[in-house]
Amino acid sequence: MLASNRDENHQRSTNTVVTKLLGTQKLLFPVDPISGGSWIATSSFSKVACVLNGAFKKHQHSPPYRKSRGLVLLDFFQSASAQRFADQYDFDGIEPFTMIMCESSGLFEFRWDGHMPNLTRCDSRLPQIWSSTTLYDETAQQQRNTWFQSWLNQCSDPSMLDLVHFHQYGGEQDHYNGFVMNRQGKVQTISVTAINKKESHASIYHHDLIADQFSKHQIDFSEDEVVESV
């Protein structure tokens, strides 16, 4: 299970989850209304990925950039593996980011700091949490990890709905660093999206917090068919 809270300008909220044909596989993802990319996606080849802004530390925003990080996320699904993506993708001109990638060979964390690609294998058996380095400093990230660990102590075997509930109501009511944040309307949590990956299919739960609209979608792990329900 992989869940993501998207912190952005409210004008980039969306309740649209789409399928896209990419060669012989199909992608399922909430689409960004401006770039056409996404921040979290799954495919009929049993892959899941999520992207966060920033790498190891907060960087200086220096546009223009060659391509949106949301489009880079979709490009990942064209790679044969996370290792191939890290070794062969052209990251020049891309703003720093972190990507969490789940595939048949395991769970990986990839960071591009603007200079060097860095790929790390993660233990998929252990619960883990990531926060964007452009929005949350080290102290805020440690606090969020504490909230996460406290929740796990109370909910050791969470369901998908438990995870979605935590992303929306967990931690403390901190408008600046909470899981659902709002920094004077300039940047705020605009959606909660979660993917539940099973042996034969994956389900996406998407809650647009701005429009207060919820939808559920499903993709089968096959090359030929995708099934959706709302």
Predicted local confidence at residue 226, as pLDDT: 40
For residue 144, tell me if it sits in a domain. Answer: no
Predicted local confidence at residue 227, as pLDDT: 41
Predicted local confidence at residue 222, as pLDDT: 79
Q: Which domain holds residue 86?
A: 2-133+185-220
For residue 10, tell me if it sits in a domain. Answer: yes
Residues β-bridged to residue 29: 18
Predicted local confidence at residue 223, as pLDDT: 54
For residue 157, tell me if it sits in a domain. Answer: no
Reported as a single tens digit per residue, the pLDDT across 124-135 is: 999 999 999 999
For residue 94, tell me if it sits in a domain. Answer: yes
Predicted local confidence at residue 230, as pLDDT: 32
At 93, phi and psi to the nearest 5?
80, 10
User: What total of structural domains would you count in the chain?
Assistant: 1
For residue 56, tell me if it sits in a domain. Answer: yes
Predicted local confidence at residue 43, as pLDDT: 97
192 contacts 204 by C-beta, under 8 angstroms: no
Q: Which parts of the chain have pLDDT scores under 50? A: 225-230
Nearest to residue 128, comparing CAs of 113, 104, 108?
A: 108
Both tokens of 108, joined, read 């990986």
- CATH number for the domain spanning 48: value is 3.60.60.10
For residue 152, tell me if it sits in a domain. Answer: no
